[in-house]
Structure 1
Amino acid sequence: MGQTKINALQLFYVIVGFQIGNTLVYGLGGGAKQDAWLVTFTAMLGGLILMFVYIKLASYYPEDTLLQMIPKIIGKYLTYPFILTYIIYFTYLASRACRDFAELIAATILVDTPLVFVIGSFMVLMVYCLRGGVETFGRMGEAVFPVYVMSMFVIWILLFSVKEFTINNLTPILGNGLTPIIKEVFPTVLTFPFGESIIIMMFFPFLNNKKNLIKIGMAIVLTTGVLMTLNLIMTLAVLGPEIYSQDFFPLLSATRMVSIADFLERFDALIILMMVAGVFFKVGGWTFGAAIGISHLFKLKQTKSVFLGLGTIIVPLAIVSSPNQVAYNELGLDFITLYVHVPLQIMFPILLLCIAFIRKKFSSSKSQS
């Protein structure tokens, strides 16, 4: 698997799909009310900085994944706790993405179906795809991403037909000042989804041409930010800030209001299609990162069996992680975001970059002398 490669366009599709993933159906930045769209736009600027950190690290160690470069930066004996932490982190986030998918499915079309069957059947397909290698995953990205974007644009066009649609729902801009926006940007929206792009560091060694890493990375963040901002504008224009901030799935609620000539209604299927496509990228990315990390840790030559093992772990973990949707969201917002996302997505990579920079400067000055 380590010899297979993906091209820049495939990486773009996979990581943009990964970042957007399941985030479009959620009400990001709800605390900022009508300025929620400014939250995603502002967080995008922070996402550009984080992407620069990841790409700069990759430029120092172009043939290594994140977990391979850690021993070279901080030393072999300090590295194992960090590698284990990232493997557990990737695995847990894969289970959370599966739970997101199952909760939406259970709330819409499969109301009486146990979550274990929804998650289990999805993971069977996911493991089957990933066992084909990173090249298969990249090609699936080429096939799935256009469907995802097409569904998104169709939904936006349909939202224009809702009689409650009014751009006045976005006014007054900055009516509550900058404070609510800043509180929503950090740490919540900066880490979800922009900080999650740290997974790209597990894909860099598989890229067949690394000349334009900075362009690819910046294009990924900008595309994600623009699509999410437009989506929030459309959703807010239909629901208004009050309903938007209180709804678990605001895009789903807005889409349910679409009624063309009292005949064409119930476009929920488009949201489900988007969710399936988005979770494909999200779960696939996290599972791929965890499997590659395990293969590095135990020096395995192949990862097919690792994917199978991870699939059997992720399914029960997604079920037992929280008893219900409310507790699940509280765990993610109150604990995971601040005490897990921020250190692993922001603080530790910046620390690694600083150490790597010093090492490179010291080694270059030593060689010159």
Structure 2
Amino acid sequence: MKQEKISALQLFYVIIGFEIGNTMIFGIGSGAKQDAWIAIGAGMLCGLILMFVYTKLSDYYPDDTIIQMIPKIIGKYLAYPVILIYILYFTFLASTACRDFGELIVSSILVETPIVIIIGSFMVLMIYCLRGGVETFGRMGEVVFPVYMMATIVVWLLLLSVEEFSLNNLTPVLGNGVKPVLKEVFPYTITFPFGETIIITMFFPILNKKKNTKLVGIAVILIGGILLTINSILNISVLGPEVYANQLFPLLASTKQVSIADFLERFDALIILLIVSGVFFKVGGWTYGASVGISQLFNIKDNRSILLSMGTIIIPLSLLYGNDFIKAIEVGKEFITIYLHIPLQIIVPILLLCIAFIRKKFNAKV
């Protein structure tokens, strides 16, 4: 079977959509309050370092995903448990993204609809798209991401019209010192969303021009970080730092403040458009990564046969992810960030790069 390829622009659309997809609606960096935007910017700089690690690994093994690199770097027997953990990690994060999507829809517009119907319907569409192949996913990125950005820009312009909007809400800058910012950067903003771009290592082998690997990676982190920083500044300016820190979905709360001439109100539909577009990239990226990982682990030539079973796993898993959504988020920050994100996004890739570097140097001397 001929391997599918996508262009650098398609990969950029898919991964930046994946990076900022559902992140826009959350109050990332909220622990730093009015300095949340600084925490996001610092997280972006750390994200550039992580992206260097991911792209350097791709330079060493240009035709391999991270799943294929691991056995070549640490050996076949040590690799199996690590690969299995990565596959479970990708699958689990696909389910958490689905849960975020379902909770927002249920809490905003479809309050009487069971969440399982919302998540199930979305996953049916997602699996249908992915079964069309990664080229189809890339082309969908070209269509969906511009729509996502148009809706985002419209929302931002509307926020500027809110009567309570004030840049004074961003002051005093570093009024609580540097410590709250550093506590948000590590481990939170560096792992969500910037560290999650480790999924790009599952797409690098299908890039039609490998020379664009670094360019795409750097562009994703920089542009994504800038967009999230702007979004944070606008939300804090509307809500104030205290409300921003205590809102589950601050962008939704900010948009509800919009009222033009006491006539045009309720722009919630734009936020729903954003979340649907964003979750498309987030869930699609994780599901694709998990299905490719399974096919490579078991030497299955076509990962499309795996996608149906992925859907049947992700839907119930998203519902099992905590009965109480607030508690689920707390578990995510306390457990997932420390015990999953940090090892799998930061520690393991850096160790793999160090070992790969030593192997390359040793083989060059031999």
Normalised to the residue count of structure 1, the TM-score between the two structures is: 0.98
**1:246 aligned residue:** 246
Distance 2:48 2:343 in 1: 18
1:275 aligns with 2:278: no
Moved more, 296-305 or 191-200: 296-305
Equivalent residues in 2 for 1:164-243, closer than 5 Å: 164-243=164-243
Length, aligned pairs only: 366
Distance 1:18 1:304 in 2: 20
Distance 1:348 1:130 in 2: 28
Distance 1:29 1:159 in 2: 20
1:15 aligns with 2:15: yes
Deviations 1:227-253 (A, max 9, x none): 000000000100000100011111100
Distance 1:112 1:93 in 2: 26
Distance 2:264 2:303 in 1: 47
Distance 1:292 1:151 in 2: 32
Deviations 1:306-337 (A, max 9, x none): 01100000000000111011111011001000
- The 3-state SS of whatever aligns with 2:4 is coil
Matched to 2:222, the amino acid is: L
Q: 1:194 to 1:137 in 2, by over 3 A?
A: same
Distance 1:250 1:335 in 2: 23
Distance 1:237 1:318 in 2: 33
Distance 1:55 1:211 in 2: 11
Distance 2:104 2:2 in 1: 35
Contact 1:2 1:206 in 2 (8 A): no
Distance 2:333 2:357 in 1: 33
Matched to 1:129, the amino acid is: C
Distance 1:67 1:30 in 2: 34
Distance 2:33 2:300 in 1: 49
Give 1:112 deviation, angstroms. Answer: 1.3
**2:363 aligned residue:** 363
Two-structure CA RMSD over aligned residues (Å): 0.7
Contact 1:57 1:353 in 2 (8 A): yes
Give 1:303 deviation, angstroms. Answer: 1.3
**2:59 aligned residue:** 59
1:289 aligns with 2:289: yes
**2:343 aligned residue:** 343
Give 1:2 deviation, angstroms. Answer: 6.0
Q: 1:2 to 1:72 in 2, by over 3 A?
A: farther
Give 1:183 deviation, angstroms. Answer: 0.2
Give 1:158 deviation, angstroms. Answer: 0.3
Equivalent residues in 2 for 1:36-185, closer than 5 Å: 36-185=36-185
Deviations 1:128-174 (A, max 9, x none): 00001110000000000001011110000000110000100001111
Deviations 1:100-120 (A, max 9, x none): 000000000011111110000
Contact 1:4 1:135 in 2 (8 A): yes
Matched to 2:195, the amino acid is: G
Moved more, 1-10 or 135-144: 1-10
Give 1:94 deviation, angstroms. Answer: 0.1
Q: 1:259 to 1:116 in 2, by over 3 A?
A: same
The runs of 5 or more residues in structure 1 that have no matched partner are none
Give 1:205 deviation, angstroms. Answer: 0.5
Matched to 1:330, the amino acid is: E
- The 3-state SS of whatever aligns with 2:26 is coil
Contact 1:28 1:36 in 2 (8 A): yes
- The 3-state SS of whatever aligns with 2:210 is coil
Q: Identity over aligned residues, as a percent? A: 65
Matched to 1:296, the amino acid is: Q
Matched to 1:290, the amino acid is: A
Give 1:212 deviation, angstroms. Answer: 2.2
Matched to 2:327, the amino acid is: A
Structure 1 ranges of 4+ moved more than 3 A:
none
**2:311 aligned residue:** 311
- The 3-state SS of whatever aligns with 2:62 is coil
**2:320 aligned residue:** 320
- The 3-state SS of whatever aligns with 2:312 is helix
Moved more, 212-221 or 259-268: 212-221
**1:332 aligned residue:** 332
- The 3-state SS of whatever aligns with 2:211 is coil
**2:260 aligned residue:** 260
Distance 2:286 2:215 in 1: 23
Matched to 2:336, the amino acid is: I
Matched to 1:39, the amino acid is: A
